């Protein structure tokens, strides 16, 4: 495969954009690649780069594209309004349609505010929890990523972890002091902390997908719900990834646990920039202009994003069998990956939930938290990533992210993926044998 145009674009971008990219994980740094691929277009399960190379895509824009690239139902709806104008800074019908659908489907949400990104949603949800409780401290879990607002960039996952650190520079000591962190799954410590400190909220990815994917035990989430209720702490589920992906009603429907606040993004914009936070009416009515918790945005509830999100969610709602099919396809890949690992003597622990999975190159039976995930062999991951890319399959360029499936990934794509995975595992096995 030739990557000349992508390499040239990257060289140009390096002089114009920090690191040549607008989100760090895109730089392909941790997988020792000369340059990332620059994408020209996507269709179904595939993307095409500026050198016209074709790839089966397991990034799917990091989650929004559960229906695949350019799904006809979504595009058809977007086309209906795209020529009317782009954004008005005034309310539109499309925001109300999307809000109505979210309130109908997500169990905990009685009222919802649309934002432009997941980062904005989590930042606002934390502010709201502080206002509601009158408390300052917040609790998050090591390796969970909730976007890049100051308070949440502590012991963080995703791009930070990929580049070998967890706390961003540029955050004041005051902010750091108010953000408490614990290991994911450690209920005893949560209980101890919440009974001894005044904490405004516990924010959690109900299925962490930013330190690689972690398979959550329902008992942990049930425990969080019990303790937060008893201590009058706000429980925030960050469902930016899991919302409308793990189940139509997200992880809260899947596990049957109702948080106080929920943050959303990705799928609810159908591939366009969006986020949302919502929850109990009593809490949401503190948001301005009803209350004095300020949140605003020129592009909040953008009509195109709202329309694309509405079309995506409507399609999911009308076709509920999608979730079973996605899980079956994911299991098909995961089962075969485990067989390949055994065949070539490669240590792996594969975590999967719904349509997400991570292959941890690690000699552990289970990867349950950040401490486990950090034990992964990133050199083996890099061989895996590069073999896949050089043979037309794009997987996340980081050991600490999840693979995303869409409904456009059919048996044909899955079987081709497994053929290339076999090449990768063979290479890693041969390297290990030396």
**Three-class SS state of 258:** coil
Of the pair 27, 193, the CB lying nearest ligand HOZ is at 27
Q: Which residue among 155, 266, 307, 315 is the active-site one?
A: 266
* Residue nearest to ligand HOZ according to CB distances in the complex: 23
Closest separation between CB of residue 186 and ligand HOZ, Å? 22
99, 310 Cβ separation under 8 angstroms:
no
Distance between CA atoms of 434 and 432, rounded to whole angstroms? 6
DSSP assignments along 341-380, one per residue: HHHHT---EEEEETTEEEEE-SS-S---SHHHHTTS-HHH
Of the pair 132, 145, the CB lying nearest ligand HOZ is at 145
Closest separation between CB of residue 265 and ligand HOZ, Å? 10
Distance between CA atoms of 336 and 418, rounded to whole angstroms? 7
Closest separation between CB of residue 162 and ligand HOZ, Å? 9
Query: Which helix (H) or strand (E) element contains residue 195?
Result: helix 187-196
Is 266 catalytic? The answer is yes
Residues that bind ligand HOZ (CB under 6 A): 23, 25, 62, 145, 158-159, 210, 401
The dihedrals phi and psi of 280, each to the nearest 5 degrees, come to -60, 135
Of the pair 210, 216, the CB lying nearest ligand HOZ is at 210
Q: Which residue among 10, 55, 145, 315 is the active-site one?
A: 145
Number of Cβ atoms within 10 Å of the Cβ of 111? 18
Distance between CA atoms of 328 and 143, rounded to whole angstroms? 28
Closest separation between CB of residue 401 and ligand HOZ, Å? 5
Of the pair 23, 168, the CB lying nearest ligand HOZ is at 23
Return the half-sphere exposure (C-beta side, CA atoms, 13 A cut-off) of residue 95. Answer: 20
Residue 212 CA, chain-centre distance (Å), reads: 10
Cα→Cα distances 268→46, 160, 264, Å = 21, 25, 7
Closest separation between CB of residue 155 and ligand HOZ, Å? 15
Distance between CA atoms of 431 and 47, rounded to whole angstroms? 30
Distance between CA atoms of 178 and 131, rounded to whole angstroms? 14
Closest separation between CB of residue 225 and ligand HOZ, Å? 25
Distance between CA atoms of 390 and 378, rounded to whole angstroms? 18
Of the pair 14, 82, the CB lying nearest ligand HOZ is at 14
Of the pair 142, 260, the CB lying nearest ligand HOZ is at 142
Is 238 catalytic? The answer is yes
Q: Which residue among 49, 178, 238, 372 is the active-site one?
A: 238
Distance between CA atoms of 104 and 409, rounded to whole angstroms? 28
315, 73 Cβ separation under 8 angstroms:
yes
Q: Annotated active-site positions, please?
A: 145, 238, 266
């Amino acid at each position: 495969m030739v990557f000349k145009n992508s390499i040239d674009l990257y060289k140009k971008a390096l002089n114009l954009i920090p690191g040549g990219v607008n989100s760090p994980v895109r730089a392909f740094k941790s997988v020792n690649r000369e340059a990332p691929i620059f994408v020209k277009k996507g269709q179904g399960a595939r993307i095409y780069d500026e050198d016209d190379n074709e790839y089966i895509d397991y990034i799917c824009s990091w989650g929004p594209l559960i229906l695949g690239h350019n799904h006809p139902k979504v595009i058809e709806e977007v086309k209906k309004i795209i020529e009317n104008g782009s954004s008005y800074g005034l309310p539109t019908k499309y925001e109300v349609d999307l809000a109505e659908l979210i309130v109908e489907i997500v169990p905990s949400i009685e009222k919802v505010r649309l934002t432009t990104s997941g980062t904005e949603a989590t930042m606002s949800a934390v502010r709201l929890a502080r206002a509601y409780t009158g408390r300052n401290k917040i609790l998050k879990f090591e390796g969970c990523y909730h976007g890049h607002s100051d308070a949440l960039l502590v012991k963080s996952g995703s791009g930070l972890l990929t580049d070998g650190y967890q706390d961003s520079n540029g955050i004041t000591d005051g902010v750091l002091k108010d953000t408490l962190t614990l290991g994911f799954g450690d209920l005893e410590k949560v209980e101890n902390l919440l009974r001894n400190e005044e904490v405004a909220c516990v924010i959690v990815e109900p299925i962490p997908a930013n330190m690689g994917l972690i398979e959550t035990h329902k008992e942990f989430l049930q425990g969080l719900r019990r303790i937060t209720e008893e201590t009058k702490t706000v429980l925030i589920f960050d469902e930016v990834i899991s919302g409308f992906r793990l189940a139509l009603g997200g992880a809260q429907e899947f596990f049957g646990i109702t948080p106080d606040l929920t943050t959303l993004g990705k799928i609810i914009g159908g591939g366009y920039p969006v986020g949302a936070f919502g929850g109990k009416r009593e809490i949401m009515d503190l948001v301005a202009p009803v209350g004095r918790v300020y949140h605003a945005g020129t592009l909040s509830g953008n009509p195109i994003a709202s329309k694309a999100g509405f079309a995506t969610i409507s399609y999911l709602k009308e076709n509920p069998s999608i979730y079973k099919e996605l899980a079956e396809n994911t299991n098909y890949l995961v089962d075969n990956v485990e067989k390949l690992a055994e065949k070539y003597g490669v240590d792996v622990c594969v975590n999967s939930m719904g349509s997400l999975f991570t292959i941890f190159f690690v000699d552990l039976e289970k990867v349950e938290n950040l401490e486990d995930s950090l034990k992964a062999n990133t050199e083996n991951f890099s061989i895996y990533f590069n073999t896949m890319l050089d043979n037309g399959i794009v997987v996340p360029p980081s050991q600490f992210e999840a693979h995303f499936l869409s409904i456009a990934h059919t048996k044909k794509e899955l079987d081709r993926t497994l053929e290339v995975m076999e090449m990768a595992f063979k290479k890693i096995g041969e390297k290990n044998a030396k």
